[in-house]
Amino acid sequence: MKNKIILFELNEVPFKVLDWYCQRNQRSNFAFLCQRSQQFKTRTEDKVMSPWVTWPSAHRGVFDSHHKISFLGQDLESADKKYPPVWQILSDNGFRTGVFGSLQSYPVPKDLSNYAFYVPDVFAPSNETFPESLNAFQQLNLVMSRESARNVSHGIPAKIALQLATQLPSLGISPATIADLVQQLVLERVDSSKLARRRTYQGVLAADIYLRLLNKTKPEFSTFFTNHVASNMHRFWAATFPEDFDPSEHKPEWSERYKAEIEFAMHKADAFLGQLLKFVNANRHYAIWVASSMGQGAEEKIPYVESMLLIADKNKFMKRLGLEKNDWEERPAMVPDYSFYVSPEKADRFRHLIQSLIIDGKTIPIYEESNNFFHISLGHTDLDGSEQLATLDGQKISFENLGLRCVESQDSVSASAYHVREGIFLIYESPAKQSIDRTVLPSTEIAPLILENFGIPVPGYMRQHSLVG
């Protein structure tokens, strides 16, 4: 074994954002890291550029043409057998491993003998964790993620929050984080635009808990995933990088309101990185690998939106599509997308009706996998002024009777940045090695590099070329 590894999965952050942040914050931890690390550009060749696809490619060493993982909530049994994630391979080879939030990491493994901790991603269908003391945190995490995917929920589930509050010291939530949270709750009451920062604070809480687990258990390999910078880039890229767009497209008041959000999110990631650097400096056999499986870049136009069409009542929606409550089961998805398992005896009827659904003059995107797994996409924008009618099986039906509703957009934008193929990969170790040529590295080479670090033979289906000496 060369080094113990902390894999900091900074979702979708490209070098454009990292370099911009370091230039503006030259004493930041990221600036320090960039001056002392080996730097590469990851590149995904996945057909589907979504993080729940590109991260499995990085973890498993093959692209989606092999692992076939396309959606959140998909059954991963076949993929796990053919192309297991790197943490499973490490655990099977006797290395003590920790997983925190990595995408497509549900369920918790049955054999936990070589795991220091295991917290599945925020789209897991249930809140099981290892250790079980993290279940209340994970439950809040899941609820907030589901309720805040498009608009941030104003409410916090009281019962779950109370249970979590009693556990804060044992979970590792620092007094500084608690004070920061209180300040955030006050700020968002004064300025409603700051409500969007709640997504970032999910990452802040998770970081504190991970750091406690890291210091307590010291696994030989661990992951920590955060999406909080990515979610802000999607929404507020145009406010931060107006030069990427036609000036005539801008709404100056919108840009002024949200221009600080990406930097704010990076500040929180930078603070977490500072704690990792402190840990590594005290534990010299550790290395920090900061990676994104792909990046983001500006959209062609700024999609300002006032409202978005969502499913407000899933029971009513599914009943109109021929299903009773015991005929279907919801699976995790990122709004305005939805995933469902449908009972085999009702699948044909559901398929017929969902394919007949026409909204705003078009059928909706539908994807079907094996085992009667259906994935649909809504998100039609600014239909408030329309007659709000859909067509189902040739018949007109109101949005209300279909369980649909046009929901106001809190931040008045859909996404001003979207996925691009190139991300970041930085390796910081002791003694420090600097390399800034940023050679392009297929994201599927991350997993074999990890295995090579631990002296584990690389499976034949993975790329075995290594750029790191």
Identify the residue with better confidence: 436 or 117. Answer: 117
pLDDT at 435: 80
pLDDT, tens only, 212-238: 999 999 999 999 999 999 999 999 999
pLDDT, tens only, 403-457: 999 998 878 888 899 999 999 999 999 777 778 789 999 999 999 999 999 999 9
Nearest to 127 by CA among 91, 151, 157, 149: 157
Residue 140 has pLDDT above 50, yes or no: yes
pLDDT at 468: 45
pLDDT, tens only, 189-208: 888 888 888 889 889 999 99
Residue 47 has pLDDT above 60, yes or no: yes
Strand partners, 100: 119
Helix (H) or strand (E) holding 119: strand 115-119
pLDDT at 469: 43
Average pLDDT over residues 228-249: 94
In whole angstroms, give the CA distance from residue 185 to residue 284. 38
Query: Residue 376 phi/psi, 5° resolution?
Result: -125, 155
CATH number for the region 4-301+417-453 comes to 3.40.720.10
In whole angstroms, give the CA distance from residue 206 to residue 184. 16
Residue ranges per structural domain of the chain: 4-301+417-453, 307-408
Average pLDDT over residues 176-183: 88
Please report, as a single letter, which amino acid is at residue 36: R
Residue 351 has pLDDT above 70, yes or no: yes
Check the CA dihedral 260-378-420-65 and report its sign: positive
Residue 151 has pLDDT above 50, yes or no: no
In whole angstroms, give the CA distance from residue 373 to residue 278. 45
Residue 155 has pLDDT above 70, yes or no: no
Mean pLDDT of the chain: 91
Average pLDDT over residues 109-120: 97
In whole angstroms, give the CA distance from residue 439 to residue 219. 29
Report the percentage of the chain scoring pLDDT > 70: 94
Average pLDDT over residues 270-291: 96
* Sequence-separated (6 or more) residues with CB below 8 Å from residue 66: 82, 83, 461
Instruction: Provide the Cα torsion 30, 34, 40, 45; round to 10°.
Output: 20
Nearest to 331 by CA among 323, 342, 339: 339
Residue 67 has pLDDT above 50, yes or no: yes
In whole angstroms, give the CA distance from residue 46 to residue 53. 8
Nearest to 310 by CA among 363, 263, 359, 371: 359
Confidence of residue 115 (pLDDT cuts 50, 70, 90): very high
Query: Residue 425 is encoded by which pair of tokens?
Result: 């990969």
Identity of the highest mean pLDDT range in 155-164, 274-283, 326-335? 274-283
Residue 148 has pLDDT above 80, yes or no: no
Confidence of residue 463 (pLDDT cuts 50, 70, 90): confident
Judge contact between 94 and 114, C-beta under 8 A. yes
Identify the residue with better confidence: 386 or 89. Answer: 89
